[in-house]
Structure formats: structure tokens, C-alpha cells
Structure 1
Amino acid sequence: MPRIASVAPVLPEHASSQEAIAAELGPLVTADPAQRALLERLHASAGVRTRRTALPLAAYRDLGDFGAANDAWIREGTALAAEAATRALDRAGLAPDEVDFLLFTSVTGVSAPSLDAALVPALGMRADVKRLPSFGLGCVAGAAGLARVADYLVGHPDDVGLLISVELCSLTLQRDDASVGNLVATGLFGDGAAAAVLVGDRRGEALAADAAPLGPEIVGSRSALYPDTVNAIGWEVGATGFRIVLSAEVPAAVERHIAAGVDGLLGEHGLDRTDVDLWIAHPGGPKVIDAFGSRIRAARR
């Protein structure tokens, strides 16, 4: 089975408290004192104390239009992606020119060629590296990316795969938008990048022989599209960029559907939830992770 050889997260240098973010972004989002007060309450109850942003907090006042924000996404995202990839490869004891398959994912900016194309010469990868850029997966992109790289490595057991994810949520800030979705989003999401190195069976054996530490095997994956949730979370793309679509349906959808998906995946491997010692979830906020936890606990009783 493919193995995870290393993982490397990278955060921007600019760190701000939730209170400072609310104070800075509030006037940009709405001039209404009542809506500002709602934004501050939502930020305070989000369960987030500190977030990182791609730009200094004051720079968002004069960030400009969608084009300027996207230019910043390309510039800052490329730098963070390069740092994450370099760290992950170093931890795995591999050089950039040993990467055979590169999957890049993001949902907070666009470019053509995609950012991974710029990384190939910048990091010294081979010109014949196989690239697969992905847009639109959102929060599930990391898990889906691991699954797709693992799928590739099943058929290429001597190869090395590299997954890179970059999300600069702060650059999607929508001014003069006091919708509940926008107020909630400004209090939840931060910026960062991460990279994971995966290796096929035979490549993993070779690394293990050289005493390189390897992470867990990826033994299976499962995907599901939940019915009637197309408008639960996503983007409306317009002249001002990415306008958040975020409804109260998200935690309810998790409560309705997550149990069947988890049980199906575990059942394929002769397991049930009582066999699981550690769960790692990528939630959209406290309500979503609470919904996930309640359904997992319910099945373990």
C-alpha cells in the first residue's frame, strides 16, 4: 500500500488575535453598528483565538478589487507552497527531482497555468513530472488529494507523489456584505499551506531500508455526495471575487450522512468504529465538529 512519508504545514508570518481581526474587518464588511456588533459576537463565539493572514492586517483596507486580491494569492500562495513542499521533501529525505506525480489543490484563488507549474522549475522538479491541479474541493481537498495520490501510487509502486494545498481565505474578503455567511466566514477561516509526500510500495521499501522513517499506510478511501446540499457551502463567483455560500445546513448534513459513510468505509476493511483509536476531522467550525463527534460517539455506544 502507498505510505505517507512526511507532512509539512506552513503558516504565514502575520498572526492576529480574533479580537484584532474583528476590529479591523468590521468596518470593511459593514457600516451598520448593529451588524458590526453581530460580527463581533460571531467572532467571539467561533472558538478561534488566533489566525494567520497572508498579508499584514492593515493591508486589507486597501487591498483593491478581485484582480489585486488574486494577484496577492498567486504571489503569497506560490511562496507558501514552495516552503511547504521543500520542508516535506526534506523530512522524507527526498530531492525535488525525485517527485513523479504532483497534485495541487486550492479553492481561494485562480491562475492558469496553475501555481504548481511555477513550482516545478522553482524547486528543481523534473520537466516530465505529472501534474494534476484541482479547484473546487474546498475543505475536503486534503483528504481527497491524499486518496487520489494514493490511487496513482497503487499503479506506480516505484514512484513518489507530492500533494500541495494552499488556502488564503483572507484574500476572499467581501466588502459591504453583511450576510450571515460572510460574517461567519470572516470569523472562522485563516491562511496556510501544507504538503505531503507519499511513496509507492517499492519506493517505501527502499526508503525503509535506508532507515528513513515512514508514516502510515493508506489502505482505503471513500467519497460521497450528499443529496440536496449543493447550496450548503461554496462560492458565488462575481465581479468582487469569491462570495461565500455558507448555510446552517452544513452541520445538519453531517449529522444525517456521516455515519453511513464512515461505517461503509470501515466495513470494507472488516472494521467498525470501536476499532478506531484516533479520529482526525477537518471541520468548518465548532458546530460541524460537534455534529461529527456526536454521530461518532452515538455509533460507539
Structure 2
Amino acid sequence: MIGVGTAAPATSYTQQEVLDAFAITDPRIRSVFMNSAIERRHLVLPPEDEKGVRISEPQGDLLDKHKRSAVEMGAEALRACLKRAGAELSDLRHLCCVTSTGFLTPGLSALLIKELGIDRHCSRSDIVGMGCNAGLNALNVVAGWSAAHPGELAVVLCAEACSSAYAMDGTMRTAVVNSLFGDGAAAVALISQGGRGHGGSAGGEGPGILKFASCIIPEAVDAMRYEWDRDQGRFSFYLDPLIPYVVGAHAEIVVDRLLEGTGLRRSDIRHWLVHSGGKKVIDAVTVNLGLTRHDVRHTSGVLRDHGNVSSGSFLFSYERLLDEGVTRPGEYGVLMTMGPGSTIETALVRW
């Protein structure tokens, strides 16, 4: 992992400003917003009506917004990532784009190749609809591509325009979603020096990827859903209130599987980069893995400053860790994401 870059819309709002923008007065819903551990989120809110209230956007407008925002944020994050990696757009050989907040055909990868003038021979892939865990699913696939193409540059780009997936109907169901997600894009560059396995860093400030482990929870397959809301006439995301505890209860299982055969214990992991899924998710994972507040400081910081930016959240935390300048050669880290399925994805890395 030789470079990382992030981007977000220019407009950001406090939780109070979002409540005011949609004239939400229900004390139960306001409590959900104000107790979320989120201070600000970057969002592209709908236009105002003649009374200054934000109007509800039809699904067609939401899809247009997703396409526009994903391309703009994605391009900015990709450029920032390549700059940090000391690379140019002309060096890119594979682009994998991840998004779950809108459907695009042709996919985001094709749109960005055209928008940025990337070489037409750059191979590409798109991972759509896998949700907040998808960044690590993509990293797993592209790490395999990199191992098969030593010396060639690949990028995983997560672009999530979450404000294109909102349904503002004043219900508690949508309040949980509307209080949590923010817009953002994040990219990470990969390169392999050898064609055998994923181990070993290719140089620079980032770690080498050693292995991955997954855990799907079939009995919770309906706990996180993005589906058509017939009353609203648009897609709407649903989160089961119990999902933080379900995820937390399975965190040990997948981490133990990740470390199996490595000779490592959880106490040997110096850096933890966990998806900023929400305050209760972070608390549940922290308790079940025996982590400290310091271990998840970047996870909590990203939630505070951006909300849940879906598949790219862990890369926002990764960027903050690198900026902190505390990693040392030989240290191990665990990346963890969770999302619909219900699924927990993990990766073991070493600096």
C-alpha cells in the first residue's frame, strides 16, 4: 500500500444544521442525531423551497447527484492518492471502483478513465452494492491482481455519495440512516514487487498486505438493506438497531481466523483501523476485541468529522494514521470493515 488520498464535498453541516435544514422537530429523531458522536458531515443537500425548507428529491435526481458527486470526489481522491504515492495517472494499470450509493452503467471506473484521460488500456473493475465492507473486498481482489502483475500500479477507489441515498420522511427508520452517513471518497494505491503472495511492502510509508479473513452472518442477512421504498418512490437504506451488537459478537471470530497460523496474538497488533460504522458499532467492536479508546482514535475521529462514509471509512482512518507518523517497520495492523450480508472483512498488514 504505497499511497492514500481522500476527498469530500465542499459543503459540510453540523447535526443541528441538518435538523434545521429539514425542519425536523420530533424530539426522538433529534435525539438520534445529537447523540451520534458526529459533529460535522460533508453532504450535498437538496435545494430549498420558497420557505427555505429542503425539498425531497425524486430518484432520478438522486441518481444524477450520485454520478456527479462520485466522479468529482473520486477524481480528487485518486489524484491525491497518486501524488502521495509519487505516481502519475499515466502509471495506472488497474482501477477498481467501489460504490453502493447509486447504480451506474457504464461504471464509475469507465467514467473516471474518460474524465481524467487515463490510458484506454488501463484494466478496470467495479464493485457495486456490497455496502460499507466493500473497500476490503476490493482490496482483496486488487491485491491478487497486483501479485499477478508485479511492478504495475493499481488503485482501489471508494466513492460514496451517501446524500444520494437519503429518504427524508420523518420516520425513525430513516432517522438512523439520515443521522449517520456522509459523503466522501478515498483511494489507496497498491504495487507488488513479486508475483508470489501479498506479503512484503513495495516501499514507501505504507504496509505490505499479508492476508485477509471474512465472516458472513447469514442469520442477519436482512439487518442492513438498500431497497425500493414504495411509499417514497425511491431507494431507501435500512439499518437494524441491533446490528452493532451482532457485529461486535462476531468480531472475535473473524480476527482470530485472521491471525490463525501467523503466531500472532491480538496484543501483538499495534494499529487497528476499524470502519466508522457508528458510535455503537465502534463501542461493540472495542469491547469485544478488548481494544482501548486509543486503538480506535482514528475510527472515532473520522466518525466525528465525516460521519460514516461507507466503504471508504477505513481509508480515511488509514490516512490519519500515516499523517500521525507513528508507524514503525515490523509493526502489524488490522483493517476491519463491516456491512450488509451481514459481513465482517479483515486484513492483516505489516510495516
What TM-score bracket applies, with the shorter chain setting the length? Answer: 0.7 to 0.9
* Residue from 211, 225, 243 that aligns with 1:234: 225
Structure 1 residues 55 and 26, CA gap change in structure 2 (3 angstroms): closer
Report deviation, 1:173: 1.6
Given the alignment of the two structures, is residue 223 of structure 1 paired with residue 214 of structure 2, yes or no?
yes
Which one has a larger percent helix, Structure 1 or Structure 2? 1
Q: Distance in 2 between matches of 1:265 and 1:78?
A: 34
SS at structure 2 position matched to 1:221: strand
* TM-score normalised over the length of structure 2: 0.75
Q: Tell me if structure 1 keeps the 8 A contact 2:223–2:238.
A: yes
Q: Distance in 2 between matches of 1:121 and 1:173?
A: 28
Report deviation, 1:109: 0.8
The letter for the 2-side match of 1:216 is P
Report deviation, 1:223: 1.4
Q: Tell me if structure 2 keeps the 8 A contact 1:98–1:125.
A: no
Moved more, 241-250 or 53-62: 53-62
What do residues 63-109 of structure 1 show as CA deviations (whole Å, max 9, x unaligned)?
53000111011112111111111111111111112211111011101
The letter for the 1-side match of 2:103 is V
Given the alignment of the two structures, is residue 190 of structure 1 paired with residue 182 of structure 2, yes or no?
yes
The Cα RMSD (Å) is: 2.4
Identity %: 29
Q: Tell me if structure 1 keeps the 8 A contact 2:226–2:235.
A: yes
Report deviation, 1:206: 12
Given the alignment of the two structures, is residue 20 of structure 1 paired with residue 17 of structure 2, yes or no?
yes
Structure 1 residues 122 and 43, CA gap change in structure 2 (3 angstroms): same
Q: Tell me if structure 1 keeps the 8 A contact 2:9–2:42.
A: yes
Q: Tell me if structure 2 keeps the 8 A contact 1:259–1:296.
A: yes
SS at structure 2 position matched to 1:170: helix
Report deviation, 1:19: 0.5
Partner of 1:85: 78
Partner of 1:156: 149
* Structure 2 unaligned blocks of 5 or more: 292-351
Which one has a larger percent strand, Structure 1 or Structure 2? 2
Matched residues, number: 284
Q: Superposition pairs for residues 268-287 of structure 1, below 5 Å?
A: 268-287=261-280
Moved more, 240-249 or 189-198: 240-249
SS at structure 1 position matched to 2:273: coil
The letter for the 2-side match of 1:199 is I
Q: Tell me if structure 2 keeps the 8 A contact 1:86–1:123.
A: no
The letter for the 1-side match of 2:245 is A
Partner of 2:105: 112
Q: Distance in 1 between matches of 2:265 and 2:156?
A: 29
SS at structure 1 position matched to 2:210: coil
Report deviation, 1:54: 2.7
The letter for the 2-side match of 1:223 is S
Q: Distance in 2 between matches of 1:19 and 1:290?
A: 23
The letter for the 2-side match of 1:18 is Q
Partner of 1:100: 93
Report deviation, 1:172: 1.4
What do residues 26-85 of structure 1 show as CA deviations (whole Å, max 9, x unaligned)?
44xxxxx5xx22111110111101111134774882353000111011112111111111
Q: Tell me if structure 2 keeps the 8 A contact 1:106–1:166.
A: yes
Q: Distance in 1 between matches of 2:257 and 2:226?
A: 30
* Structure 1 unaligned blocks of 5 or more: 28-32
Partner of 2:159: 166
Which of structures 1 and 2 has the bigger CA Rg? 1
Q: Tell me if structure 1 keeps the 8 A contact 2:46–2:57.
A: no
Q: Distance in 2 between matches of 1:56 and 1:97?
A: 36
